[in-house]
């Protein structure tokens, strides 16, 4: 439950007067006021602003016309003549949808009324802003680490935030291995360098040139490394919620990392997640017990700056997906805007000037992955063996196949693809439909496309 305070007052009402009135009505109420509501214009009154600050509440206003629509228990003709509504304080409470629990109380210059909403209160605007801000300003940081120590208290707070993460059945499957020794970090670094080389060798030439300019880890630059691990069996046999989906234990550990990342950002600590590893090789270097799995390897330390956007975006390597692409309503594929319209709208943003060429083989399988430019779309009903070169899209209808085609083209555009060559090898309606979707998506995103 949370309380809503409706306020009406004359211009220049002293804060002390309003404060006393509010204190009097709050004596009987154990809950806190999360929302202060008044008529438009009064939000600029110093007494209202100070009250909102002191309560840590949110401030909302309604126009006199909106307030006039409310049926209030204590209407006033005088207020009606002055304001065009027979009530401000009570009407403001009711306009929020709250139930009135205390009708209008007055002092010489102010009136207040109190309401209650069934929903628990969120945070006030300042706190809410801080939460959204840290989410938006968290960055994966690989450059600019400073040679400054991270003290134990700060590290403790950040690890404490990680340790508060939700976890399946409260199994808390994570552990945090804090590594400062350079000798250990060197060994881990060597593993990352080897994987970096392997990845570079797998890329088409233009992509490789772009990758060469990217920094993908800061293992030796950051003063601290933290290996975040997961014990998939923690808590034994009857962990609530894990029985049907063992992946939930990994998700829990990943969420702990996100908590750590956000808290670190708030503390001014940069965090860079490195995944250029065979996890078993890192586990061997760190001498982890066999049952412990590596989830994330993090480079942590103070940095000279936090970039305003992801490094992969700033370097042109990849782009963000618009939220509207990711939200479906009631049924898979039912989005707010048409999938093609969305792609066209995002085209200016998503298409790099000179993108790589990808040959999409529709209805193929892993055997067709001869060169690095090839991407296979497998339409079969069974999940193919894992290979990122094979996209499994078991379309249930030709219409869905078209949508999948559009989606693939859009998502490739975000990953730096500028040109599509579509080759259909399966003789089916779905394969033709998916190829059509690829072409529609490609033109909507401004990719050049052709058939092979």
Contacts with ligand FMN by CB under 6 A lie at 139-140, 142, 216-217, 273-276, 310, 312
How near is the Cβ of 135 to ligand FMN at its closest, in Å?
10
State which residue, 235 or 352, has the beta carbon closest to ligand FMN: 352
Distance CA 429, CA 435 (A): 10
369: how many CB neighbours lie within 10 A of its CB? 17
State which residue, 143 or 163, has the beta carbon closest to ligand FMN: 143
How near is the Cβ of 327 to ligand FMN at its closest, in Å?
19
* Parallel/antiparallel/unpaired status of strands 448-451 and 293-302: unpaired
For the beta sheet containing 33-39, the strands, ordered from the edge strand earlier in sequence to the opposite edge, are: 58-62, 33-39, 2-9, 110-117, 99-106
Return the structure tokens found at 67.
């307030």
How near is the Cβ of 309 to ligand FMN at its closest, in Å?
8
How near is the Cβ of 253 to ligand FMN at its closest, in Å?
11
State which residue, 50 or 415, has the beta carbon closest to ligand FMN: 415
State which residue, 218 or 447, has the beta carbon closest to ligand FMN: 218
143: how many CB neighbours lie within 10 A of its CB? 14
310: how many CB neighbours lie within 10 A of its CB? 14
How near is the Cβ of 306 to ligand FMN at its closest, in Å?
9
- Choose among 196, 226, 227, 220: nearest CA to 145: 220
How near is the Cβ of 279 to ligand FMN at its closest, in Å?
12
State which residue, 5 or 228, has the beta carbon closest to ligand FMN: 228
Distance CA 121, CA 237 (A): 37
State which residue, 94 or 218, has the beta carbon closest to ligand FMN: 218
Distance CA 234, CA 295 (A): 15
For the chain, what is the largest distance between any 2 Cα atoms, rounded to a whole number of angstroms? 85
- Choose among 98, 95, 44: nearest CA to 87: 95
State which residue, 217 or 373, has the beta carbon closest to ligand FMN: 217
How near is the Cβ of 310 to ligand FMN at its closest, in Å?
3
Are 45 and 11 a contacting pair, CB within 8 Å? yes
How near is the Cβ of 312 to ligand FMN at its closest, in Å?
4
How near is the Cβ of 189 to ligand FMN at its closest, in Å?
12
Q: Which residue is at the shortest CB distance from ligand FMN?
A: 310
State which residue, 255 or 421, has the beta carbon closest to ligand FMN: 255
- How far are the Cα atoms of 67, 106, 110 from residue 90, in angstroms, in the given order? 9, 12, 12
Distance CA 266, CA 306 (A): 11
State which residue, 276 or 392, has the beta carbon closest to ligand FMN: 276
Return the structure tokens found at 273.
């997640």
Return the structure tokens found at 402.
């078209």
Distance CA 392, CA 331 (A): 20
């Amino acid at each position: 439950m949370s309380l809503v305070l409706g306020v009406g007052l004359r211009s220049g009402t002293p804060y002390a007067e309003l404060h006393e009135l509010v204190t009097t009505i709050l004596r009987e109420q154990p809950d806190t006021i999360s929302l202060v509501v008044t008529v438009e214009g009064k939000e600029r009154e110093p007494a209202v602003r100070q009250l909102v600050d002191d309560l840590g509440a949110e401030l909302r206003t309604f126009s006199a016309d909106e307030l006039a629509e409310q049926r209030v228990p204590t209407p006033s003709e005088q207020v009606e003549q002055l304001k065009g509504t027979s009530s401000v304080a009570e009407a403001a409470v009711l306009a929020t949808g709250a139930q009135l629990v205390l009708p209008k109380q007055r002092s010489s210059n102010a009136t207040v009324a109190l309401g209650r909403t069934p929903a628990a209160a969120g945070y006030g605007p300042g706190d809410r802003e801080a939460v959204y801000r840290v989410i938006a300003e968290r960055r994966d940081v690989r450059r600019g680490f400073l040679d400054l120590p991270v003290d134990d208290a700060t590290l403790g707070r950040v690890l404490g935030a990680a340790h508060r993460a939700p976890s399946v059945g409260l199994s808390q499957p994570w552990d945090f291995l804090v590594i400062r020794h350079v000798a250990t970090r060197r060994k881990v670094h060597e593993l990352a360098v080897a994987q970096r080389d392997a990845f570079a060798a797998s890329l088409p030439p233009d992509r490789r040139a772009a990758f060469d300019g990217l920094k993908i880890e800061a293992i030796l630059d950051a003063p601290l490394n933290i290996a975040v691990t997961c014990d998939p069996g923690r808590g034994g046999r009857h962990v609530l919620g894990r029985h049907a989906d063992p992946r939930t234990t990994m998700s829990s550990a990943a969420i702990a990392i996100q908590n750590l990342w956000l808290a670190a950002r708030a503390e001014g600590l940069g965090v860079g997640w490195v995944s250029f590893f065979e996890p078993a090789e890192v586990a061997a270097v760190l001498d982890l017990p066999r049952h412990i799995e590596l989830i994330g390897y993090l480079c942590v330390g103070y940095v000279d700056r936090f970039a305003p956007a992801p490094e992969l975006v700033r370097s042109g390597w990849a782009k963000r997906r618009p939220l509207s692409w990711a939200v479906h309503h009631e049924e898979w594929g039912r989005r707010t805007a048409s999938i093609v319209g969305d792609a066209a709208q995002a085209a200016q943003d998503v298409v790099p000037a000179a993108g790589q060429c990808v040959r999409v083989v529709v209805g193929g399988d892993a055997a067709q992955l001869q060169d690095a430019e090839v991407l296979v779309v497998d339409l079969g009903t069974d999940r193919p063996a894992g290979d990122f070169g094979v996209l499994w899209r078991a379309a249930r209808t030709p219409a869905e196949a078209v949508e999948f085609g559009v989606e693939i083209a859009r998502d490739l555009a975000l990953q730096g693809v500028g040109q599509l060559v579509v080759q259909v090898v399966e003789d089916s309606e779905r394969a033709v439909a998916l190829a059509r979707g690829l072409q529609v998506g490609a033109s909507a995103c401004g990719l050049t496309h052709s058939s092979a």
